[in-house]
Amino acid sequence: MGLLMKIIFLILLLSTFVFSKTINNSLLKIHANIMPKVLLLEKNIKEKIKNNTINITIAYEESNYKEMKFLEQSIKREYPNGISGYEIKIEFIDYKAFKECNTDTNILYIFPSSKENIKMLIKGYNDCNTITFASDKEYLKYDAMISIDVGKKVKPIVNLVAVKKFGIAFKPVLLSISKVFKYEE
């Protein structure tokens, strides 16, 4: 019985490492709900929105395809008629296909990938004055601007250094309800 318990423990431990970068559907529903609302808290968003449409780009790898489609459907279910009078348009970018940012993108959602891919994509979109929303708060250290902290309460986490560095300004209400990300020294 002791050997069987060790094997089961090792299988559970191994599965935790293998699947550690997948995102569960409950968390994706939270992201789908919060992401467009955070975007509307940017001070200059009205000047950036074109054709009365909020443009969301979702960056993904093939391994995240199912989660990416779930996020898309969750946003559409949450906002079937758009938000605050704006339509919502969702586009996708595979990390492998990324060359330059789409200047119409208002917010970039970042699914897990390699450190190099994450850094490349965040830099490309931050340079285009796009809000970068990370699926994993770990990506804030690579200059993503927003992520979500799920604890007793669900709160946005704002990387103020990246926000200021790339010229984004949020309304004070976002900062009052958010945690502030601090880089580790």
Q: How far, CA to CA in Å, does 132 sit from each of 4, 13, 31?
A: 46, 32, 13
Residue 17 burial (10 A CB sphere; 0-12, 13-18, 19+)? exposed
Between 152 and 85, whose confidence is greater? Answer: 85
Does the pLDDT of residue 52 top 90, yes or no?
yes
* Domain-wise residue ranges, the chain: 22-180
**141-164 average pLDDT score:** 92
**What predicted TM-score, i.e. pTM, was given to this entire model?**
0.85
pLDDT at 152: 85
d(CA 67, CA 28): 8
CATH architecture of 22-180: 3-Layer(aba) Sandwich (3.40)
How does the average pLDDT of the chain come out, rounded?
87
Q: Quick: pLDDT tens for 165-180.
A: 999 999 999 989 999 9
